Structure 1
Amino acid sequence: MELFDVAEPGAGPYGVTVGPDGGVWFTLVHAGEIGRLAADGTVRRFALDSARCGPSALTVGPDGALWFTELNAGRIGRITVDGEASSFAPPTADAGPGGIVTGPDGALWFTELNADRVGRITVDGQVTEYPLPLAGAFPAHIAAGPDGALWCALNQADAVARVSVRGEVTVHRLPTAGTAPVGITAGPDGALWYVGIGGGLVGRITVDGKVTEYPLADRAARPHAIAAGPDGRLWFTEWAAGRIGVLTPDGRLDGYPVPGPGAEPHGIAVGPDGAVYAALERGQIARLAG
């Protein structure tokens, strides 16, 4: 495992993705910045218009830019690979945008943690919001499913929601109370995979709602985010345990401890070469070779 210092303690690396330029892009949620880690370890940081805007999740957009949520400012941000940033405000104020992903329809889809809504934003900034049928659901991360719909983790409802590109919502309840799902991703097997930060588990849900659970040996590990690798492995962060976990295609769970105290891994991404990147709260990006 390689560790790269990308920020001072307190800046809070949170979301991470591999950009279209081959760089590893990340958010600094407590500093109001977006960062880029190059292959040679060089770091560039781009300040947004407010140190308190709270950039959180980020994804590669269909336009070749990076799109991200500004949790505290209630906006959706966009930054080019050259560092030019702009933002767009959804109609609902203080909605608390959380997760974001590029949808199958060429738009970006995001969750609104505080408003129990899922939003859609076009690359020119036009926003549509769709309400979820559960109050206080706290929609967290969101993924594009293999069925052409969007799937999001409903953290406070112990559920996963399917949202069609027309905004039609189907809710699937999870079998374990207190699961509190956060991260979700499309797997290589035609299903969705999520992690339960409260239940200490990895879950699989088919597009028709059938759930299979894989409990972690450490149920207090607080798994946070999850990403699929090109070889069929599912990688996830264990926030409280300071580990990067992995679930193999044959159902075997394993983990890689991050050296040193206070790692607190949050976001995770897998590059096209299979390399795994995790954003560490203490100011680092961890890299595991594929």
Structure 2
Amino acid sequence: MRTIEVAKGAYGIAFGPDGSTWFTVAEGAQVGHLAEGGEPRYHRLEAGSQPTVVAVAPDGAAWFTEYKTDKIGRIGVGDDSADGEPTEIRLAEGAGPYGIAVDRSGAVWFTETATDHIGRIGPDGELTRFTIPHRGGFPSAIAAAPDGAMWFTLNAAASVGHVNADGAVTVIPLGLDGAAPVGISAGASGVWFADIMGDRIGRIDEDGTVNAFALSEGAKPHAVAVDAEGGCWFTEWGGNRLGHVSADGQVSGYDLSAAGSEPHGLAIAADGAVWVALETGRLARIEP
């Protein structure tokens, strides 16, 4: 495992089509960009904005949520935003956007934690909001599935849901005692989620079966990412570890070298390496 020093408060992480790395700095109200072999470049946002999750569109633009200031931000590459000036879309006051993902059409989807809505910004810039049929569910992370559906977690409702481009929303109770799902990732092996309060990693199979894989007490898994072999990588925010569940349910893990690293977001690079954002101010990489 190797690490790269970045600003303290690193939270979300994603990769651009050119192989560069984007990451949010929640504590410092910045978005970082790291070209291969270069030094981190930072783009400053409004103080206290708390940028959280970041996703990269096919055109290389980074999209991110600003949780505290109710905005969706964008930093373009090779266009009018090439100088690194963020552009922002303001949402309703108190929306609390958190999760964000890009679908195969290039549309940007996000969750509004406080309003029971999923938002969509189309390639033409049109903003649409879809109501979730569950009040107070605290929609959290969101991810694109291979079939085009967008899956999301309902942290306060022990449920996950999915929505299509037409706005049809379905909510699925997990049936797990004390569940509080946060991270979610969808792949050919199913939909995986992190149950931060139940210390579990879960998977929903194609037939709707929910499988749960137990972790150590206090692990508090936060983010997940499906790998090419059908397994799932995850961060243990409470356990100071990076973990993996294989397609057949074998759980393994890696202790982080520094105590109290607070691993949050993670992403898998094109070469199969797993990258993790550590709130202590580092990006960690595990070789494939």
Q: Which TM-score bucket, shorter chain as reference? A: over 0.9
Q: Following the alignment from structure 1 to structure 2, what is the Cα–Cα distance between the partners of residues 74 and 209? A: 34
Q: Following the alignment from structure 1 to structure 2, what is the Cα–Cα distance between the partners of residues 266 and 62? A: 24
Superposed CA RMSD: 1.5
Describe the SS at the equivalent of 1:27: strand
Deviation at 1:32, TM superposition (A): 1.1
- The 1:24–1:105 alpha-carbon spacing in structure 2 relative to 1, beyond 3 Å, is closer
Residue in structure 2 matching 1:220, options 211, 218, 221:
218
Tell me the residue number matched to 1:205: 204
Deviation at 1:257, TM superposition (A): 0.6
Native 8 Å contact 2:237 2:262 kept in 1: yes
Q: Following the alignment from structure 1 to structure 2, what is the Cα–Cα distance between the partners of residues 42 and 146? A: 34
Tell me the residue number matched to 2:251: 253
- Structure 2 unaligned spans of 5+: none
- Structure 1 unaligned spans of 5+: none
Letter in 2 for 1:52: G
Deviation at 1:61, TM superposition (A): 1.4
Residue in structure 2 matching 1:12, options 4, 9, 14:
9
Native 8 Å contact 2:19 2:270 kept in 1: no
Letter in 1 for 2:195: G
Q: Following the alignment from structure 1 to structure 2, what is the Cα–Cα distance between the partners of residues 278 and 234? A: 14
Deviation at 1:39, TM superposition (A): 3.2
Tell me the residue number matched to 1:88: 89
Which aligned runs of 4 or more in structure 1 are off by greater than 3 angstroms? none
Deviation at 1:4, TM superposition (A): 1.1
Deviation at 1:208, TM superposition (A): 4.7
Range with bigger deviation, 243-252 or 35-44 = 35-44
Verify: 1:31 aligned to 2:32, yes or no: no
Tell me the residue number matched to 2:278: 280
Q: Following the alignment from structure 1 to structure 2, what is the Cα–Cα distance between the partners of residues 272 and 25? A: 14
Deviation at 1:230, TM superposition (A): 2.5
Describe the SS at the equivalent of 1:165: coil
Q: Following the alignment from structure 1 to structure 2, what is the Cα–Cα distance between the partners of residues 68 and 161? A: 21
Structure 2 length as normaliser, TM-score? 0.94
Deviation at 1:3, TM superposition (A): 1.3
Deviation at 1:41, TM superposition (A): 5.7
Native 8 Å contact 1:56 1:69 kept in 2: yes
Native 8 Å contact 2:146 2:188 kept in 1: no
Deviation at 1:165, TM superposition (A): 1.2
Native 8 Å contact 2:219 2:238 kept in 1: yes
Native 8 Å contact 1:88 1:125 kept in 2: no
Describe the SS at the equivalent of 1:21: coil
Deviation at 1:145, TM superposition (A): 1.8
1:134-193 CA distance string (max 9 Å, x none): 11100010011233211101000000011121111111101212210000001232x111
Tell me the residue number matched to 1:230: 228
Native 8 Å contact 1:203 1:212 kept in 2: yes
Tell me the residue number matched to 1:56: 52
Deviation at 1:93, TM superposition (A): 2.1
- The 1:118–1:231 alpha-carbon spacing in structure 2 relative to 1, beyond 3 Å, is same
Tell me the residue number matched to 1:42: 39
Letter in 1 for 2:110: F
Tell me the residue number matched to 2:19: 22
Q: Following the alignment from structure 2 to structure 1, what is the Cα–Cα distance between the partners of residues 191 and 101? A: 14
Describe the SS at the equivalent of 2:170: strand
Deviation at 1:103, TM superposition (A): 1.9
Tell me the residue number matched to 1:118: 118
Tell me the residue number matched to 2:157: 157
- The 1:104–1:37 alpha-carbon spacing in structure 2 relative to 1, beyond 3 Å, is closer
Q: Following the alignment from structure 2 to structure 1, what is the Cα–Cα distance between the partners of residues 36 and 137? A: 39
Describe the SS at the equivalent of 2:65: strand
Tell me the residue number matched to 2:269: 271
1:257-287 CA distance string (max 9 Å, x none): 1101110000000001001110101011111
Q: Following the alignment from structure 1 to structure 2, what is the Cα–Cα distance between the partners of residues 19 and 249? A: 27
Q: Following the alignment from structure 1 to structure 2, what is the Cα–Cα distance between the partners of residues 148 and 19? A: 20
Deviation at 1:113, TM superposition (A): 0.5
Native 8 Å contact 1:67 1:76 kept in 2: yes
Q: Following the alignment from structure 2 to structure 1, what is the Cα–Cα distance between the partners of residues 123 and 10? A: 25
Q: Following the alignment from structure 2 to structure 1, what is the Cα–Cα distance between the partners of residues 250 and 180? A: 22
Verify: 1:78 aligned to 2:74, yes or no: yes
